[in-house]
Amino acid sequence: MSMLRPVLDRAVLVGAVLCAGMAPSFMAQYRQRVGGHLAQALQDLAPFLQIANLRHRGSLEALVQHHLQSTDPTFKAEGVAIRAMVDSVQRLKDAVEGLNGTLTQQLLYLFQHADPTVLRATWEIYQPSFAMSTEGIVFALSAGLVIWLGFLGLWWLLARARAGAPNRRARSIYK
């Protein structure tokens, strides 16, 4: 066990730094995907914005209400669809805004508000790369150090528990 620990702890340190160094490229790819979804949603909403400008003084909400108040089921269903597009655009705008910031802010936003569908789609085509920016390197080293220290702490706790276990058994036998 004494020969295993130095090898394992170096492997954990190097692996953690490398994995953390790839986080910026994942975030960039996730941001690009969210931005693409927003561009498409805005493009899909554009004809309805034109109608709202012509018929409802630019108010999409008034256009949606006009559709929803109709007695025609098809027209009413269009109102629901337009509302869904408006909500989607707002949600995507919020995501783009939340993903603009430092890498740490982006990761916190991702952990709190990730869209599972976008996350899965990004992961499926993710192309790993190591970020060579100052922020990327600092993040990789910091996260690697935290993970490595966690590993060392866990190893120490397990070693203490293992070292104390035979003594407890030995004392209970002689009592």
pLDDT at 125: 93
pLDDT at 159: 83
∠ Cα 28 132 11 (to 5°): 100
pLDDT at 167: 54
Query: H helices of 2-133, where?
Result: 4-21, 23-55, 60-68, 73-98, 103-113, 116-124
pLDDT in tens, 112-146: 999 999 999 999 999 999 878 899 899 999 999 99
Compute the average pLDDT of residues 139-161. 91
Neighbouring residues of 137: CB distance < 8 A, sequence distance ≥ 6: 21, 131
pLDDT exceeds cutoff 60 at 89: yes
pLDDT in tens, 38-57: 999 999 999 999 999 999 99
Distance CA 158, CA 160 (A): 5
pLDDT exceeds cutoff 70 at 66: yes
pLDDT band for 5, please (50, 70, 90 cuts): confident
Distance CA 120, CA 72 (A): 38
pLDDT exceeds cutoff 80 at 16: yes
**pTM, full prediction:** 0.76
